[in-house]
Structure 1
Amino acid sequence: MRIGICPGSFDPVTLGHMDIITRACKIFDKVIVAVPVNPDKHASFTVEERMDMLRTVTQGLNVEVDCVRGLLADYAHEKNAAAIVKGLRAISDFEYEFQMALTNKKLNPEVETMFLPTSVENMFLSSSMVKQVAGFGGDISHFVPECLLERINERLCRTARG
């Protein structure tokens, strides 16, 4: 079984994330969508909430949602993954992701990193942008899965006001 890992903060899940996850599902027998536990990062949603949202939007896909506690390279080894799948929006993403790919390869020579360019309609889309637009009361319905819209708006608008 060929396993791919799609790591990300998913804070919150966007249509751009879903584009990459869905396309990875066509390449791998199983895709693990992995949310890292990073106590140094302040997220709008807890790891558990992000995992729950991911389980909701990936129902019916060959996806397992999990969290990563530690190095992604070690996690990939534990899960016997063939590749780490990363979405790229722009050239600016590439430099950082390439550095991470080389680091992961050094730590785990068995795992490859695969870069998938985002679809044109999602090139501008990021979780940070969604948070900013929602925080000012803007319409994020074109940026996040419909089934999560109310939940995301409730949290991000409350965060912006409070």
Structure 2
Amino acid sequence: MAESDLIPLSMLWRFYVYAIHGYVTEIMFTATWEFVINQNWKFPGSTSVWALPIYGFSTLMIEQMYLKLVERKVPLLGRAVIYTIWTYSWEFSTGFILKKFDACPWDYTPFEGDFMGLVTLEYAPLWFFGSVFCEILIIKYTRMVYWGAPVKADKTKQS
């Protein structure tokens, strides 16, 4: 099988990977938060079905930013700042729309740095480091996944 027979994941499949990753991450985060704040050993995590399209589309957008910013040789720190600004914009926008339908699953009003209950400054470090993690591991490796028959290792190249 030639390398040209391999087909990269489509945007729809990458959306799926990104959506599931965000969904699971949010469940794990809320479970950890519940344990830390309330010492709940059951680790009940929660999210909303809205998290799937929110994380999927957001990460596809970060993926496109990543490709353009790396091409322009923007350092990781600069990229992470841009991703964090994007994340706040996206979280506010999607929350604002969902709130109009009484469907917004988050409410940051108990936080001191909240704006309209839709975003909070307290999460800036989480969004910053989360976006770095997302670029370095999730986006990079998802873009390396291909459809096709397994490629057999060339034993002559092994040392």
TM-score by length of 2: 0.33
Q: Could you say which structure has the higher strand fraction?
A: 1
Q: Could you say which structure has the higher helix fraction?
A: 2
- Indicate the structure (1 or 2) with the bigger Cα radius of gyration: 2
TM-score by length of 1: 0.33
